[in-house]
A = this chain, B = another copy of it.
């Protein structure tokens, strides 16, 4: 289980210390963190807690949301991303996950929004690289294109990432977001060849989707994604880093955290490893 990483959002019913303790008690090496609980607990305190538990942070979620038509708002968002980069460095991860942002309110110009993402990454990339952090552009499933992330495919993520050094910008391969893409495997190979894969994340695609679709992610094995095939593709492309389990699911959130962690570890062995 040396690559398994519990993304703390999967067990948001747990406090940050509980998630860290449980991960360490389970013999895990990694944990994936989110900014809000880290800020709440304190960035330096979190770093100390993680280190004391013998864990490493696989990624920090999340920066991004770079799409806005207002200049003041844009500067505010870029400042917040710089803080996110600082926080990633402080908790000891070199991966800051970026969710690009959707269409600015009241607009329909998807190409324009995509240009805003490029421009924001261009402004942040050197700052990240100087602090040993890589901006990890995560393509989100096209059903999130309008309201969360105008970057909908690995190909798009790589088109942006490759304009910057691999030490500054990479991509996330999240099985949930890319499994449907007929071009996914070719793009994973491309990403690996350029040392752009910063993270492989797993959960499963389950239907029917719930209202709002955000919390429709399923436990590995409950859906249709070829999780092992995608993992092997990432491996073949040269990625040997942590594999994060990131699930947003109301039923799992209502269960005791330890049950969810145990189940996730079992399903990881069965469907991913």
Give every chain B residue within 8 A of A108 (Cβ-Cβ). Answer: 224-226
Chain A count of residues within 8 A CB distance of the other chain: 32
Q: Which single residue of chain B is at the shortest CB-CB distance from A107?
A: B224
Stretch at the interface among A26-34, A66-74, A144-152, A234-242: A144-152
A61 within 8 A of B: no
Residues 126-167 of chain A, each 1 if its beta carbon lies under 8 Å from chain B, else 0 = 000000000000000111011100001101100000000000
A200 within 8 A of B: no
Which of B143, B155, B179 sits near A110, CB closer than 8 Å? B179
A251 within 8 A of B: no
Query: Is B207 within 8 A of A209, CB to CB?
Result: no
Which of B109, B142, B211 sits near A181, CB closer than 8 Å? B142
Q: Which single residue of chain B is at the shortest CB-CB distance from A159?
A: B182
Q: Which single residue of chain B is at the shortest CB-CB distance from A229?
A: B108
Give every chain B residue within 8 A of A42 (Cβ-Cβ). Answer: none
Q: List 7 A-B contacts (CB under 8 A).
A: A103-B224, A108-B224, A142-B180, A142-B181, A145-B180, A147-B207, A147-B208
How far is the CB of A181 from the nearest CB of chain B, in Å?
Answer: 7
Query: Is B142 within 8 A of A156, CB to CB?
Result: no
User: How many protomers of this protein does the assembly include?
Assistant: 2
Query: Is B209 within 8 A of A180, CB to CB?
Result: no
Which of B155, B209, B224 sits near A143, CB closer than 8 Å? B209
A205 within 8 A of B: yes
Q: Which single residue of chain B is at the shortest CB-CB distance from A150?
A: B180
Which of B110, B152, B155, B205 sits near A226, CB closer than 8 Å? B110
Which of B152, B208, B226 sits near A182, CB closer than 8 Å? B152
Query: Is A146 within 8 A of B224, CB to CB?
Result: yes
Give every chain B residue within 8 A of A155 (Cβ-Cβ). Answer: 182
Give every chain B residue within 8 A of A224 (Cβ-Cβ). Answer: 103, 107-108, 110, 146
A48 within 8 A of B: no
Query: Is B182 within 8 A of A114, CB to CB?
Result: yes
Give every chain B residue within 8 A of A103 (Cβ-Cβ). Answer: 224
Other CB < 8 Å A-B pairs besides A152-B182, A208-B212, 10 of them? A108-B226, A142-B142, A143-B143, A146-B180, A146-B207, A146-B224, A152-B180, A209-B209, A209-B212, A211-B211
Give every chain B residue within 8 A of A209 (Cβ-Cβ). Answer: 143, 209, 211-213
How far is the CB of A245 from the nearest CB of chain B, in Å?
Answer: 18
Task: Give the CA-CA distance A1 to B254 in the complex, in Å.
Answer: 53
A210 within 8 A of B: yes
Give every chain B residue within 8 A of A179 (Cβ-Cβ). Answer: 110, 145
> Which parts of A189-214 form the interface with B (CB within 8 Å)?
205, 207-213
